[in-house]
Structure 1
């Protein structure tokens, strides 16, 4: 099994000085779920190079989730995010799944990215798994299904809720509200309680609501890829 993880490259909340990027655990937990299941896991990013990590997603050593601690100590894994290929330079011809972790950075460099849209639309048309968690579904905005409609249209989708964005205090800073955009695209948006695990699988489409959903999303991705 081969899984490609695509990460964002935007490192600020808009044009402000507030740093953001990848929410680290949304990468690390699925990464090891996939790796430990025997998958080959490759990582790319929107612009290539070093992947920005939201500083709020890394705690003191003894307070990090186990997968974050493991990743930080894994030289091979750290090298993958230290010098990632750009999505324009990767192929999805032989992947079984493409997965988009979140972090607020995705809201700026993924939704209108035509290269990313095509990179997701192609494997979807070939019956491969497309998955995202938390703000990762921002990357699904430009993806199309085999009929040319938005990939999420008519399908159950989970993503960071408007309520959670308000709780994060960023409703005025993000370029759009992800829940609202998913609904506008015709998704059958579904959610659970704020900051509690919630994930949905609709055939080969797997989505999760928030960071707490990353483990369940990873499980569903493996299930879908094997299916």
Structure 2
């Protein structure tokens, strides 16, 4: 039976005066890998509907193979309408838009609690871990407390020139909640695995993060 992956994406299209949204490759590259592995992919967002794409994430020509893969983000269901019991894993895609509508989000917390409690696979890339901020487990402890993980770093934020625009430092907030935040070289592929949590640092890590997720499913012990 094929695995079902829930991919969570942002609806936010503005960061102050800057156009933002989903960083396209952080959905398309993992979704392509998941589909090629035979997984069923669903994309969901806070408000549903068509997902805004960060204009900086478009290349001059998108690979033709991406056309079909992009279909799920043309009209997404609301995350609140999703039954998490139907999914084997969850993947939080990045883009600066996530800094607006992912943190301290009650709907995300409710969905994530299921994956935490059931010890299902949880994964993210780049700014995706902003969805972990404010999420507590069934013991009322921060989800990230004591967990090794990564995500878009302070150094990378500084290099984008958006350090003063983002509402907070994601790396700092995750550290404050107890995450053992591991930083690799800026804009180089870096993935961290901690039990059922798989995190990638930046857009360059999108593909390998998905590949690690697939590998985790392959090596998981039968229940």
Shorter-chain TM-score tier: over 0.9
CA distance in 2, matches of 1:132, 1:103: 11
CA distance in 1, matches of 2:210, 2:83: 22
Q: How far does residue 147 in structure 1 lie from its aligned partner after superposition?
A: 2.2
Q: How far does residue 146 in structure 1 lie from its aligned partner after superposition?
A: 3.6
1:36 aligns with 2:36: yes
CA contact (8 A) 1:8 1:105 kept: yes
User: What is the aligned residue count?
Assistant: 217
CA contact (8 A) 1:7 1:101 kept: yes
| Residue number in structure 2 paired with 1:157 | 149
- Call closer, same or farther: CA 1:167–1:215 in 2, change over 3 Å: same
CA distance in 2, matches of 1:111, 1:53: 19
Structure 2 unaligned segments of length 5 or more: list them: none
Which digits, 9 at most, give the CA deviation of each residue in 1:26-48, with x for residues without a partner? 10110011110011111111110
TM-score normalised over the length of structure 1: 0.92
| Residue number in structure 2 paired with 1:11 | 13
| Residue number in structure 2 paired with 1:21 | 21
1:209 aligns with 2:204: no
* Aligned equivalent of 1:105, options 87, 97, 101: 97
CA contact (8 A) 1:96 1:225 kept: no
Task: Supply the RMSD in Å over aligned alpha carbons.
Answer: 1.2
Q: How far does residue 56 in structure 1 lie from its aligned partner after superposition?
A: 0.7
CA contact (8 A) 1:203 1:224 kept: no
Aligned structure 1 segments of 4 or more residues deviating by more than 6 angstroms: none
| Residue number in structure 2 paired with 1:132 | 124
